[in-house]
Amino acid sequence: MTNRTICLLVFCSGFLALQGCLSSSTGFENIRVLLDSNADTIVLKGETGSKLLVSPRLQGRIMTAKVGSVESTGLVPQKTISEGEIHEHFNNFGGIDRFWIGPEAGQYGVYFPKGAKELTRDNWQVPASFDKGAFEVIEKTERKVQLRKKIDVTNLLGVEFETMVTREIGLIPSASLGAELGIKLPAGVSYIGCYSDNQLTNTGNDWDPKSGLIGIWILGMFNASDQAAVIAPFKSADDGKAAYNDDYFGKVEDSRLKVIGQSVIFRGDARKVSKFGLSQGRTTGLAGSFDFGRNLLTVVRFSVPQTMERYGNSTWHVTQENPYSGDAFQSYNNGDDKSPDGLAQDAFFELESASPVRPLRKGENISHRHATYHFQGPRKELDKLAAKLLGVSLEEVQAAMWPASS
């Protein structure tokens, strides 16, 4: 038995013991060994010991990051990864940035079989073209990696889409935070930032809005916690409509979603399936989360066009009245109704962003950038960053979501 095998066995037993925990982080190097044994890894080294882990074999995902005292910011489901691509509906391999195609549901959705009369968990299916199979590595350096994969999907109406997808994944140094977020890294705060630049090219027939359009959908799975909250700032509007959309799996309970000033606050505890979104006109192009137990601030920044465009609608209705009124930002919280405490085995919440959908001709493409920034350190400094970037103080968030502990 090799030293590498011994390390893997120790890691696996420890990880399995933590499956019921909300924030089951383990050592970054142990995660790397696990993935090397079941898939592959590319490690990009950031500043002051921070690291980023990418797996081309697992659909080109950014798997997780190490920052400060936090060994793993992303969900890395050991059991699913070790089992491989065998699951019927979704091979949940986790990751803080994975590539999907939207919309999910409706007459133009690509996650349900052709002609489906109802949309349920039983007939929901992630298209195999991006649920299985590796992304090809085109180029790799110390700070970035370029990937590509041919991806084809079919919508509920039976319309087929042929595409070529390319992804560039790289680090964002702290020296770039001024240009990226308009901030300077505070003293004593550990940091890692990364991005994915994604391009979807039509390689088949021209796309027609009357028969459906598709676009890029980037999703990040983060370790859930009973002390974690999603924070999504939004713009004011005089249209009389609610600032957010929670018409995905039914209205979100008031105790789980609140509005403070110009920000939506949402629980990231993996104890109740729920979701909300912000439209192109309402999102600021920034969102994030804070884990009070680990003093971990996460911020995502994503592309939002200056002019109004179509967005695929992912609400679960067979026929949507407005199929191009979807959201640019979404956040999903996992859960399990069959569990006594509601806690899902895969304890995660998601920060998601989407590109517009466009009637591309053959050879045309659409691009979308999604960046993730992690800050870990003193609460005082993180509070300042949260107030500046997400529009609300951490004290306000804590008082609203956990009034007994504030």
For the segment 305-325, what is each residue's pLDDT rounded down to a tens digit?
A: 999 999 999 999 999 999 999
**pLDDT(163) > 70:** yes
What is the pLDDT, as a whole number, of residue 406? 52
Q: Which of 81, 98, 102 is nearest to 31 (CA)?
A: 81
What is the pLDDT, as a whole number, of residue 12? 39
Whether the CB-CB separation of 266 and 335 falls below 8 Å is answered with no
What is the pLDDT, as a whole number, of residue 138? 98
**pLDDT(399) > 50:** yes
**Integer CA distances (angstroms), 214 to 44, 83, 266, 303, 396, in order:** 31, 31, 28, 16, 38
- Predicted structure pTM score: 0.93
Average pLDDT, the chain: 93
For the segment 73-99, what is each residue's pLDDT rounded down to a tens digit?
A: 999 999 999 999 999 899 999 999 999
- Sign for the CA dihedral angle at 234, 297, 60, 63 comes to negative
For the segment 278-307, what is each residue's pLDDT rounded down to a tens digit?
A: 999 999 999 999 999 999 999 999 999 999
Distance of CA 32 to the CA centre of its chain: 20
What is the pLDDT, as a whole number, of residue 404? 79
The Cα–Cα gap between 197 and 180 comes to 14
The Cα–Cα gap between 29 and 37 comes to 12
For the segment 114-150, what is each residue's pLDDT rounded down to a tens digit?
A: 999 999 989 999 999 999 999 999 999 999 999 999 9
For the segment 207-222, what is each residue's pLDDT rounded down to a tens digit?
A: 999 999 999 999 999 9
Whether the CB-CB separation of 191 and 184 falls below 8 Å is answered with no
DSSP 59: T
Weakest-pLDDT range from 57-66, 240-249, 275-284 = 240-249
What is the pLDDT, as a whole number, of residue 309? 98
Torsion, Cα 195 23 381 62, to 10 degrees, reads -10
Please report which helix (H) or strand (E) contains residue 160, including its range. Answer: strand 160-171
For the segment 12-55, what is each residue's pLDDT rounded down to a tens digit?
A: 333 333 333 454 457 899 999 999 999 999 999 999 999 999 99
The Cα–Cα gap between 145 and 124 comes to 32
Q: What percent of the chain has pLDDT over 70?
A: 93
What is the pLDDT, as a whole number, of residue 23? 44
DSSP 32: H
What is the pLDDT, as a whole number, of residue 405? 64
**pLDDT(170) > 50:** yes
DSSP 313: -
Domain 96-401: give its CATH code.
2.70.98
For the segment 341-393, what is each residue's pLDDT rounded down to a tens digit?
A: 999 999 999 999 999 999 999 999 999 999 999 999 999 999 999 999 999 99
Bridge partners (DSSP) of residue 150 are: 164
Confidence of residue 181 (pLDDT cuts 50, 70, 90): very high
Q: In sequence order, what DSSP letters do the residues of 189-231 get, joined into one string?
A: -EEEEEEEEEEEEE-SSPP-TTT---EEEEEEEEE--TTEEEE
Residue 222 — φ and ψ, nearest 5°? -120, 150
**pLDDT(5) > 70:** no
Quick one: tokens of 348?
């995660």
User: Mean pLDDT across the stretch 6-16?
Assistant: 38
What is the pLDDT, as a whole number, of residue 255? 95
Q: Name every residue whose Cβ is closer than 8 Å to that of residue 208 and which is 6 or more positions away in sequence.
A: 359
The domain locations on the chain are 96-401
More confident residue, 339 or 270: 270
Whether the CB-CB separation of 110 and 104 falls below 8 Å is answered with yes
Give burial (CB, 10 Å; 0-12/13-18/19+) of 40: middle
| Plot region of 385 (φ>0 → left; ψ -120 to 50 → alpha; else → beta) | alpha
